[in-house]
Amino acid sequence: MTTPQISAFRALLTLSVALALLSCTAESEAPQADFSLQAADGATRTVRRQRVDDAGALGLETELSLTVFDVDGGFSSSGNAEVLTLALWDAGGAQLGVIGDDGQGHLLRALPDEARGLTVVEATLPPDRRYNGFLIAHRDSRPEARVDSATLSAASAHFEYDGSALHLGAGIELEAFDWAARRSIRLAVAPAARKQLDSRSWAINLRFDPQPAAAATHPDNGEAYTAGRVHFSTNERSRSMRLVLTPGNVNLYFNSGIIGFVPSSIEVEVEPGMAVEHVTVQPDALVGTDTTYPAIPADLGVINFYDQRAWRHPRFELFAWNVANNVLVFDFADLDIQRDMFGRLGFFVAVAGEAGQIFPEEYYEGRHTYNAHDYRPQDLVSFFSTAEQTGVALNQREQFLRDVLIDYGIIHADGNRYTEGHGAVLSFSRATWRPLRQRLLRHEAMHGIFYVSERFREGSFELWDSMSALEQEYWRLFLGNKGRMDGREGYDGYDVDRHYLLVNEMQAHVLQLHPHEVNPYFRDFYARRIREVAPSSAHVVNDLIAAEPDVFVETRRALEELLEEVTGVSGGYLMAVYPEEVEILHR
């Protein structure tokens, strides 16, 4: 999202920049013997390093080799889950500890043997105590670990490893990890971290790193994507999900609505082509925390399979799509509330003979346009401006939508004047049969890409211009009669005289389908329906199929390649997350 950003990641982003700087400079500059400990309030205290030969003098096992760091004036821990965060080099196998004001040492956390490069580690401090310093202990004759920085801060439940730099938060414990390939990991979530997940705004964020080698080929379909699996569990409950990972969809969020409980264990496995890079348990993962209604970041699969009982509002939920920039998705409990919020917009934007006009709500009674919706800033500005200028009153749901769009910068308001921002808004309903919901969600998502990606729009228009006259006429017939062919009372079809709408609907109708569905859908079923509702144009369908029998498959292949170029989502696999009991729709 451009505005607003996910606030919970600001601190982590700052830390990532710091890690990058450290990794660039560490080999050329030796770390200083003296440095400062920075407290949570910004105060600093000088730290002095010394070697201690007798660990027993600090009340620790005598065979330990210690490096002690005295802090001038000492430091205290508060009662708010404060941690000591150290940036270390060459600390594999080390144990971290503190020295109390009684001069005794206390070991807090052990590091894995594989932590050879830069390691940022958090160690939880027992609350409401004073300390004279901290220490690093080894059980063997390894070289002394080097410390670059030390801070006192709030705890995180964060794991990150990019193949060289490691971050271990205090709220998460690494139980098993494939250090070489990074293809499997098992983490335990600390009880203190779990206690913070007491609302519907938490999420577990997994991020994967596409590897240089091509993604694995799935044995069932021969298409490129990387399969994976994530398993969440407690002592009493468990939930598994299958992953369909492509380079454009590797940053995934799992929360209460898809997991169903707060897990104590997280296990991830992926095939060759991806590596596990990042796992974070976030107490507040919402997008736009300063808005009218913060959105839940989610993959389309998570949105589709999200448990309605976990919704924050009884009749709808709002998501932010994790692939496209500033694309919001409303999921509604039924068609009635969706119609309240988007119904007049649908007629205003796309219905032949009524586009550009807004009438009182009673004019639309008994009429149905779409089971799902999608809108770009330009059309939203036009709708709300027209309502303002003509004095047509907005209903409560439309006012709420307008406020959300303004909050997220999709449109801007200056008094009674509206201007375009950036992004898009999509919607669909739980009233739709689930397999059809998946198709509609893919359809609306492609509109979202079309609205926010200039390159995807340009490529779609270029594809249209390259089509034969027969194929272009087929699309005019198909879209212009879509309402009549589907039996929608009061709605004939799209306004095909609007070229932008025509091309946009063409690409979305094609990419909503998997390749094996394309010919049965366009060449068989809807070709027959066109002959029935527009018999005078039947020759267009017949001539096209005779001349170009695979035209629809070829059109889809071209759009799929364009989608991958723009987003990195390969094979048209827009959904990355599937509950284990749900079949993945293959190509």
DSSP per residue, 438-497:
HHHHHHHHHHHHHHH-HHHHHHHHHHHHHS-HHHHHHHHHHHHTHHHHTT-TT---B-TT
CATH architecture of 1-169: Sandwich (2.60)
pLDDT of res. 585: 56
Residues of the chain with pLDDT under 50: 1-33, 214-222, 586-587
Cα of first residue to Cα of last residue in the chain, in angstroms, is 30
Which residues, listed in sequence order, are joined to residue 123 by a DSSP beta bridge? 84
- Locate tokens 């096209």: which residue? 544
pLDDT of res. 213: 59
For residue 327, give every residue at least 6 positions away whose Cβ sits within 8 Å of its Cβ, in sequence order, or none.
320, 321, 423, 424, 425, 426, 445, 448, 451, 452
Q: How far apart are CA 440 and CA 272, in angstroms?
A: 31
Q: How far apart are CA 436 and CA 224, in angstroms?
A: 25
Q: How far apart are CA 217 and CA 568, in angstroms?
A: 16
pLDDT in tens, 285-321: 999 988 989 999 999 999 999 999 999 999 999 999 9
pLDDT of res. 13: 36
HEC sequence for 361-406: HHHHCCCCCCCCEEECHHHHHHHHHHHHHHCCCCCHHHHHHHHHHH
The helix-helix angle for 538-547 and 469-480 (nearest 10°) equals 140
pLDDT of res. 366: 79
The domain ranges of the chain are: 1-169, 171-310+572-587, 335-432, 453-568
For residue 167, give every residue at least 6 positions away whose Cβ sits within 8 Å of its Cβ, in sequence order, or none.
15, 19, 119, 120, 121, 158, 159, 160, 161
264, 369, 551, 587 from 438: Cα distances, Å: 31, 19, 24, 14
pLDDT of res. 7: 38
CB 442 within 8 A of CB 454: no
pLDDT of res. 20: 40
Q: Percentages helix, strand, coil for the chain, rounded to the nearest 5? A: 35, 30, 35
The verdict on whether omega for the bond into residue 247 sits within 30 degrees of 0, i.e. cis, is no
- Locate tokens 């080099």: which residue? 89
Angle at 160 between CA 156 and CA 165, to 5 degrees: 120
pLDDT of res. 127: 83
Length of the chain: 587
Angle at 153 between CA 147 and CA 154, to 5 degrees: 135
Helices (H) and strands (E) counted in the chain, each on its own, are: 16, 27
CB 182 within 8 A of CB 275: yes
For residue 483, give every residue at least 6 positions away whose Cβ sits within 8 Å of its Cβ, in sequence order, or none.
369, 491, 492, 493
CB 171 within 8 A of CB 283: no
Nearest to 133 by CA among 81, 88, 94, 97: 97
pLDDT in tens, 228-283: 999 999 999 999 999 999 999 999 999 999 999 999 999 999 999 999 999 999 99
- Locate tokens 């007798």: which residue? 54
HEC sequence for 307-348: CHHHCCECCEEEEEECCCCCEEEEEECCHHHHHHHHHHHHHH
pTM of the model: 0.88
The helix-helix angle for 499-511 and 434-452 (nearest 10°) equals 130
